[in-house]
Amino acid sequence: MTHQTDDPLRQVGFATATSVIVANMIGTGVFTSLGFQVVETTSGFALLALWAIGGLVAMCGALAYAELGVAYPHSGGEYVYLSRLYSPLVGFLGGWISMTVGFAAPIALAALAFGKYFAAVVPVPPFAASVVVLGVVALVHASDLAVARRFQVTLVIVELLLILSFVVAGLTFDRPTTISFQPTADGWRQVMSPGFAVSLIYVSFAFSGWNAAGYIAGEVLHPGRTLPATLIIGTSTVAVLYLLLNWTFLRTIPIAELRGVVEVGARSAQAMFGEGGGRLMSAMISMLLVATISAMVMAGSRVTEAVTRDLSRLRIIGARSANRVPRNAILLQVGITLLLLMTNSVDRVMTYAGFTLNIGTLLAVLAVWIRRRREPDRVLPYRIPGFPVVPAFFVLASAWTLGFVLWERPVAALAGLGTLALGVALFWWDGRGRT
């Protein structure tokens, strides 16, 4: 079906936009973080509650972002919303977080995970595989918008089929672990513990990407109806898949064997199908991670484009090529990611990224109140249902998690705050802080 639009940049329909959200969300987090969560949380009920709460928080955030996206349907996400509703500095910091943490760090982690999983199938150096897959994906997205769209949608269809097949296999597994998912007094105690709050950062990182449609909003067809639909459907779909995946992991791997494990998906497949199944699962997850890298390169380059286009000294990075591809932004995104590929601590990077990203999304959801106060008479085709309870729940949950991480993991929190300080310095260096 061919879409007609007066804006040549608006070529992204519902399927592509939803695939970007799904692929941005499903990545290293859900396949690697459970091994860190079980260090302090051992109740099956509490572990699934982590993912249920994470899904609810993400959905509340998605409902709020849908209103912001409809009000300001331009590519850039937090950069656009925070610039409009706070100040140019706050907006730049939102974009800076997305450029340096929101996409580069998860892309690097996904590429590293791809290398490890792919090396279990094909005997190649994992780091070399990580670099090659990043280069191939960047080449596709830098070539042509139509090719990139088809590439992304195809990968997500394969991704969803692989995950559903894995969950079905877990349902039929005949040697389940003894873990119970019933609510108990100990389970509720663990839900209220500091360790649970810290684990929410891992879950928050796994759910990051629910706001991805906002980053490409300037290219979305009919944003007034497409953006809310993609945000809600994409986020709810992933939330259900995450619950099913973690139920499958816990049902197939004893908790004692999960602690500190990164390749959770491969371990689960080994338990169900043996060594051959583990290699097959490694191949499946490799494919899944290619979809994740692709979606993040697509969305992240649009943020980089939007931010640098407004900088006086780096404006050339935000320029598009003759065929309307943000090629320079893609190259910069890949360059930052290559630097971060040198990092090997999944735990520390996830905590740092989760903490820093939460700051940006928290400010953006708070901006909904500012928008309504400044534009009380503006009529939009979409407004947050359940306002103000829905965004207030997101704000309180995010603030609670940030506070616990600042207390329990001060090094990761200070690294996040240091990233913000570096962004302020860059803002002033460019001269925008003096105008």
Question: For 333-349, how does the pLDDT look when each residue is reduced to its tens digit (9 = 90+)?
Answer: 888 888 777 755 566 77
Closest to 302 (Cα-Cα) out of 226, 219, 211, 209: 219
ω into 326 cis (within 30 of 0) = no
> Coil, strand or helix: which one is 314?
coil
> What distance in Å separates the CA atoms of residue 99 and residue 80, rounded to the nearest whole number?
13
In eight-state DSSP terms, residue 61 is H
Q: How far is residue 251's CA from residue 264's CA, in Å, rounded to a whole number?
A: 12
Q: Tokens 């699962």 correspond to what residue? A: 281
CA dist 365 and 1 (Å) reads 35
Question: Where in 197-245 does DSSP place strands (E)?
Answer: none
> Quick one: tokens of 329?
């932004």
- CATH code that applies to domain 14-429: 1.20.1740.10
> Measured between alpha carbons, how far is 314 from 297 in angstroms, rounded to an integer?
19
* Range with lowest mean pLDDT among 163-167, 192-196, 208-212, 401-405: 208-212
Rounded distance, CA 337 to CA 353, Å?
13
| Rounded CA separation 310/217 (Å) | 17
Mean pLDDT rounded to a whole number for the chain: 83
**What's the DSSP call for residue 161?**
H
In angstroms, the Cα distances linking 174 to 48, 180, 268, 270, 294 are 21, 16, 13, 14, 36
Element (H, E) at 371: helix 346-374
pLDDT over 70 (residue 275) = yes
* Run of H or E including 418: helix 410-429
State yes or no: pLDDT of 235 exceeds 70: yes
Domain ranges of the chain: 14-429
Q: Could you read off the pLDDT of 345-382 as tens digits, one per residue?
A: 566 777 787 888 889 899 999 999 999 999 988 888 88
**Tokens standing for residue 376:** 């009380």
Among 17-26, 43-52, 170-179, 303-312, name the most confident range: 43-52
Percent of the chain residues past pLDDT 90, beyond the cut:
22
* pTM for the predicted model, two decimal places: 0.77
SS3 123: coil
Closest alpha carbon to 69 in 208, 214, 225, 209: 214
Residue 434 burial (CB count, 10 A):
7
Q: How far apart are CA 34 and CA 261, in angstroms?
A: 8
Is a pLDDT exceeding 90 seen at residue 149? no
Give phi and psi for 12, each to the nearest 5: -95, 115
* Predicted confidence (pLDDT) per residue in 191-222, tens digit: 888 878 878 878 887 887 787 777 777 778 88
> What local confidence, expressed as pLDDT, does residue 41 receive?
87
End-to-end Cα, the chain, rounded Å: 47
Does 5 have pLDDT greater than 50? no
Average pLDDT score over residue span 162-182 = 84
The burial of 6, by beta-carbon neighbours within 10 Å (0-12 exposed, 13-18 middle, 19 or more buried), is given as exposed
Percent of all residues in the chain with a pLDDT value above 70, rounded to a whole number: 94
Separation CA 273–CA 42 (nearest Å): 25
